[in-house]
Every structure is written in structure tokens, then in C-alpha cells.
Amino acid sequence: MIDLHTHSIFSDGELIPSELVRRAAVAGYRAIAITDHVDHSNMDFIIPRIVKVCQKISDAYSIKIIPGVEITHVPPDSIFEMAEEARKMGAKIVVVHGETIVEPVIPGTNLAAAKSPVDIIAHPGLITEEEVKLCAGNSVFLEISARRGHCLTNGHVAKLASKLNAGLVLNSDAHSPQDLVNKEMARNIAAGAGMSGEEIEIMFKNSENLVKKATEK
């Protein structure tokens, strides 16, 4: 399993990064990105610490650990600039907290993210065809979410991605140990969203390619 959207105590997760990674490794993960929530108030605090811990523990675990970030509940006009700044600070995976239907995310967030130098729009909710087309053209991946609430629109996301040739990835959005999912569960979640076996394999390959890109930087 490759999981490119997880949280530690540096935002609203329950575990310190070391334990999060250790539990993921024991659960059979091959790669994990730690993508804690940031806005203008804390990005300069969180990213350097995630980068540091990934460097310190990477040799001790049989799993690839990628420093990342989730830009969360910020004005859409700020997303492009924050994504660029996050990369300069060392974030190798940049996620934007999309317009999930279970939170009051600012309208226009998906559109701004689709136009920005980001990797993934997390739980993009009722994303529009226009936004999905932009994601396809800009190599921004859409998330199939394993997290309760956020997963309610997985079918909509998968259907539009298939129609418009946009890339998908599946992530846990883990905040606690029980949120981590194995590959069998990931397959079931994707199948429940209406994805075919071939589409699921392509989705897993997308995650592998993002890991390769992130670790080669």
C-alpha cells in the first residue's frame, strides 16, 4: 500500500510521525507521505519539522517516508503561492484540502488547486467537469478517499475522472492508527466507487509514480 495523505500530531493526527510510520510499516505499507494541515499561520513551523523527522527516521524503517503538506481551508487566491512556498521549504508531496461535502470549504478551492503546482486534490467532493479537465491537463491527481464522510462522493469523482481522463490516487487521510488501510481494503473502496479492476491498477500505479517523482527530487 502507498498512502500519500496522512496526519500526525503536527496538525490533527493522534500519533507522532515516528509511530505513524512504524504502524504503517507493520500494516504492510511500502510508502507513506506525512501531509499535515497548514495555512498561513503554521506552514513555516510544520514543514521543516516534517522534513527533519523524515530524514532522521528514513534509514530505520523498511518504508519510504515522504515529507508533504495539506494546504487546508485557505483562500483560493493563496493556494498557488502557498504550494510554491511549500515546495521551497521541502514538501515533496503537496495536497490541497478539496471541497468535501462534509466541511465548509471555500468555493473555488478545487478550481484554484487545479491551476496550481500541486500533486493531489484531496476529497474533492462534487468537483465539476471543468475542474476535472484542468486537473487532467495539469497532472493534478484526484483523491479517492478512505476517510468517513469524505468518501461519500468517491463515486462522483471516479466517474468524472474516467470520463475526462484525469488521474486518481487512493489515500487513507489517516488521523489515527485505525484509519490506515491495507491494499485489499483500498481495492474494495475503489470498487465501491464503481471503478473497474483495470482502473484500480492504474490508480495504484499513479501513486507509485508520484512516490518515484517525489523521491527523485
* CATH code for the domain of 127: 3.20.20.140
Tens of pLDDT, residues 125-169: 999 999 999 999 999 999 999 999 999 999 999 999 999 999 999
pLDDT mean over 174-194: 97
As a whole-number percent, the residues of the chain with pLDDT over 90 amount to 95
CB 33 within 8 A of CB 92: yes
Q: Please report the pLDDT score of residue 94 as a whole number.
A: 98
Which pLDDT belongs to residue 61? 86
Structure confidence at residue 217 as a pLDDT band (50, 70, 90): low
User: CA-CA distance, 23 to 209, in Å (whole number)?
Assistant: 23
Beta carbons within 8 Å of 109's beta carbon, 6+ residues apart: 76, 79, 96, 97, 98, 99
3-state secondary structure 44-57: HHHHHHHHHHHHHH
Structural domains in the chain (count): 1
The pLDDT assigned to 143 comes to 99
- Please give, one letter per residue, the 3-state secondary structure of 126-151: CCCHHHHHHHHHHCCEEEEECCCCHH
- 210: exposed, middle or buried (Cβ count in 10 Å: 0-12, 13-18, 19+): buried
Domain boundaries, position 147: 2-216
Q: What is the pLDDT of residue 60?
A: 86
Q: Which of 20-24, 57-61, 63-67 has the lowest mean pLDDT?
A: 57-61
Average pLDDT over residues 13-42: 96
All residues at 6 or more sequence positions from 85 whose CB lies less than 8 Å from its CB, including other chains: 43
pLDDT of amino acid 19 = 96
- Rounded Cα–Cα distance for residues 144 and 126 (Å): 12
C-alpha cell at 211: 512516490
- At 62, is the pLDDT very low, low, confident or very high (cuts 50, 70, 90)? confident
